[in-house]
Structures are given as C-alpha cells and as structure tokens.
Amino acid sequence: MKLYGSLTSPYVRKARVLIHEKNMAVEFVNEDPWTEDSPVIGRNPLSKVPVLEIGVDSYMFESPLVVHYLDHVDGKSFTPRDPAGYWQSQWWQSLGQGIIDAGIARVFETRRPLDKQMPEKMQREEQRIHRAIDLAEKTIKENSEFLLGNRYGLADIVMGVAMQYTDFRYPHDWRSRAPKLNQWLKGIAARPSFVDTQPPGFEPPAA
Ligand SMILES: N[C@@H](CCC(=O)N[C@@H](CS)C(=O)NCC(=O)O)C(=O)O
C-alpha cells in the first residue's frame, strides 16, 4: 500500500500515526494537493490528501475512510468491539475531526490578505474549538491514560492529532480550562508514533 499526503496535514497524520502504531508496510509518498496539476487529482477527484492506494488504480480517500480501512485491513483493529465502546470511539473521532476542520478553516482565514480576512469567521471557528475542548474535558475521566477504558485506540489517535494540530496552528491557553485533557495528551504525545510524525516546524509546548 501507499499513502499519499503531506507532512503537515493533520488528516494525513491520523493515518501516519496508525500505520506507525501497527508497524504496517505502507510507503509514504509526499504529494502536494494544492498545485493546479497535482497528481493527487488522478487518485482522488476531490484533490485532497490523504489518499491510500490499496491496489492497482484503486484508492481510498477522506481520512475517516482511510483510517477505517487501515484499522481493519489486518484484522488487528484499534477500535473497541463492544457496541458501546465502538460508538464511543466514533464519537471521539468525530469530535477530533471537527476540531481539525475548525483549525484548518481558521488557519486559511489567517492566510488571506488582511483586508479580506473576516474576524467573525475566525471567531466562529475558534468558538467551535473551545466548545469541543470543553466537552472533551467534561467527558474524559480523571487520570485516564486513554480515552476509552484501559486500551489505546483510534479515539486517542484522532483526538491526539487534533489537540496537537491546535497547539501547532492555533496556540492558545486551553490547558488551564482542560487539565484532564492536558494530562491525557502528555501521555499520548510521548508515544513514538506521535513523536515520529510531528509536523515539520512544530514544537510541542512543555505543558
Ligand atoms: N475531509 C477530508 C479533508 C482533507 C483535506 O482537506 N486535506 C487537505 C490537506 S490538510 C487538502 O488536501 N487540501 C487540498 C485542497 O483543499 O485543495 C479528510 O478528512 O480527509
């Protein structure tokens, strides 16, 4: 298999962390989806990364599907099998994906020419992130190493990537409002799969 993506994309990083955790033989191909004639278009008509090549001319795209495929393809899933755990894992993954989406939307706004930026759009995205963090803090258990029970899983991967993307592109003091989440992130961020997939230029805060 081949994973096409960029080193800074949090969507791609979700897949990279999972591949690292599972020690899967997946070749990473650095590809820029932004150029007019990007080769990504030939693999994903939406021209977005990640794209996962699973066979000759056969591709998976959209990170939730890419991650879902990688999670199941080897029969060693990182998702709880019991129905309650399964849906809780999906819930955390949706929350994490939403934080990433809001962080991306916000950062694009900051990159527009100053006279075209919409502060209210930026604020709207920031509020999404703040509310999502508040809900995560309310939901996470005291002193829990992992988000679900005593097992590391996809919920931890997606939320971990989301929180580090927040630290990378929207650094702000969320820690004083979410001490339990901060404590959990410290453990997750120290895992080799997270350390080895840090986006270039990202210095995790000494929290
Ligand atoms: N919903 C998609 C979003 C993927 C996405 O937006 N990726 C960005 C990189 S961070 C991209 O390829 N953008 C290119 C573009 O929007 O043209 C997913 O979860 O995979």
Residues ≥6 apart with Cβ < 8 Å to 171: 205
Ligand 1 in reach of 49 Cβ (< 6 A) = yes
Which atom of ligand 1 is nearest the CA belonging to 48?
A: 12
Give per-residue pLDDT as tens, 108-128: 999 999 999 999 999 999 999
| Phi and psi at residue 162, to the nearest 5° | -65, -45
Which tokens sit at 81? 């099998």
The CA distances from residue 184 to 53, 84, 96, 134, 187, in Å, are 33, 21, 14, 14, 6
Average pLDDT, integer, range 59-78: 97
Alpha-carbon distance of 181 to 185, in angstroms, equals 6
> Among all chains, which residue has been given the structure tokens 């950062």?
107
Q: What is the pLDDT of residue 36?
A: 84
Residue nearest (by alpha carbon) to ligand 1 atom 1: 62
Give per-residue pLDDT as tens, 124-145: 999 999 999 999 999 999 988 9
Q: Where along the chain do its domains lie?
A: 2-72, 83-191
**What's the fold here for domain 2-72?**
Glutaredoxin (3.40.30)
Q: What is the pLDDT of residue 149?
A: 87
- The pick from 34, 48, 63 for probing ligand 1's pocket by mutation, whose C-beta has the most ligand atoms within 8 angstroms, reads 48
Residue 5's SS3 state is: strand
Alpha-carbon distance of 53 to 3, in angstroms, equals 6
Alpha-carbon distance of 161 to 94, in angstroms, equals 12
Could you tell me the pTM of the whole model? 0.97
Whether the domain at 2-72 and the domain at 83-191 fall into the same CATH topology: no
Average pLDDT, integer, range 61-88: 96
| Phi and psi at residue 176, to the nearest 5° | -70, -25
- The pick from 49, 107, 111, 168 for probing ligand 1's pocket by mutation, whose C-beta has the most ligand atoms within 8 angstroms, reads 49
Q: For residue 181, which of 125, 141, 126 has the smallest C-alpha distance?
A: 141
**What's the fold here for domain 83-191?**
Glutathione S-transferase Yfyf (Class Pi); Chain A, domain 2 (1.20.1050)
Average pLDDT, integer, range 20-46: 93
The CA distances from residue 176 to 78, 188, 189, 196, in Å, are 30, 18, 18, 27
Residue 40's SS3 state is: helix
Q: Do 132 and 102 touch, CB atoms closer than 8 A?
A: yes
Which tokens sit at 118? 């919409």
